[in-house]
Structure 1
């Protein structure tokens, strides 16, 4: 799929039960590129459309990639495997989600216009999947070089308390 053809009728894809796959450079996903340490590599994605027995339109979405985030403990680069799988119930603009879907955590309801920008949808899903505080499983915080041990503010308070 060429990068120019990422705007499609998502409802038609679901109605016809078609499958669509693609790949996009991380640097092309503007908000994601701003949220990572290095906007390197690519993100692969796929959409599988489906119409259920009740006539509702669904899309199963998957996203795979590896993003370079900044560890919030050691401040070094962290390779984070981005893996997203989501099922979307497609709604017309202004259409309210069915009552039974409001309690269903297995899928999300999404209002879609006649033409949907798949890259914007992929970007939204990647942003929602990013960890709030990315960090390595085992790393140490940075150490100030050439500085003696800092005095804890609580130690200072303890000394002041002892003088009273």
Structure 2
């Protein structure tokens, strides 16, 4: 599929109760690739539109895929299973968020234009869900080769202080 095929009117999608789903290579997400150790694999996503009894428009978003991050403890590859589920209330640009939605933590409001880039929206959701400090459950920090004991910078300061 081309990049243009992922640009759609989310409000129309929700109004009509339509569904869009696709599987795309991880390398299609430019900003996400910068945060990965290896840009391999695919991301599968689904947008399911819905209009409630009050006429509010929603999209349920589901994203799945495995991402290869760098463990911040051992610096090796760690596979992070990305699973994002989010319900989005669609509002027009400049429209105020309904008061009852301000207190509901299960729904995020999203201001949408008539043309929305679904790949950019998926990328945003994945970047928000990624761990700040990815690491294995059990691993050791790397050991410096050829160095038996590292000299503490405070030990050096203690030596300098003693000479004065």
| TM-score, normalization by structure 2 | 0.92
In the alignment, which residue of structure 1 is the partner of 2:94?
94
CA distance in 2, matches of 1:101, 1:90: 11
Once the two structures are TM-superposed, the CA of residue 29 in structure 1 deviates from its matched residue by: 0.3
- Residue 15 of structure 2 aligns to a residue whose secondary structure is helix
Once the two structures are TM-superposed, the CA of residue 155 in structure 1 deviates from its matched residue by: 5.4
CA distance in 2, matches of 1:160, 1:28: 54
- Residue 35 of structure 1 aligns to a residue whose secondary structure is coil
Once the two structures are TM-superposed, the CA of residue 151 in structure 1 deviates from its matched residue by: 3.2
- Residue 34 of structure 2 aligns to a residue whose secondary structure is helix
In the alignment, which residue of structure 2 is the partner of 1:151?
151
Unaligned residue ranges in structure 1 (runs of 5+) = none
In the alignment, which residue of structure 2 is the partner of 1:36?
36
CA distance in 2, matches of 1:158, 1:53: 72
| TM-score, normalization by structure 1 | 0.92
- Residue 82 of structure 1 aligns to a residue whose secondary structure is strand
Which runs of structure 2 are paired with 1:103-114 in the superposition (5 Å)? 103-114=103-114
CA distance in 1, matches of 2:33, 2:19: 27
In the alignment, which residue of structure 1 is the partner of 2:128?
128
Measured on the aligned residues, the alpha-carbon RMSD in Å equals 1.8
Once the two structures are TM-superposed, the CA of residue 152 in structure 1 deviates from its matched residue by: 3.3
- Decide which moves more: 149-158 or 95-104: 149-158
| CA displacement, residues 120-144 of structure 1 (integer Å, 9 cap, x when unaligned) | 1001001101110101110100100
Unaligned residue ranges in structure 2 (runs of 5+) = none
CA distance in 2, matches of 1:154, 1:115: 58
In the alignment, which residue of structure 1 is the partner of 2:52?
52
CA distance in 1, matches of 2:161, 2:137: 39
Once the two structures are TM-superposed, the CA of residue 149 in structure 1 deviates from its matched residue by: 1.1
- Residue 134 of structure 2 aligns to a residue whose secondary structure is coil
CA distance in 2, matches of 1:116, 1:158: 60
Provide the aligned length of Structure 1 versus Structure 2.
Answer: 163
Once the two structures are TM-superposed, the CA of residue 150 in structure 1 deviates from its matched residue by: 1.5
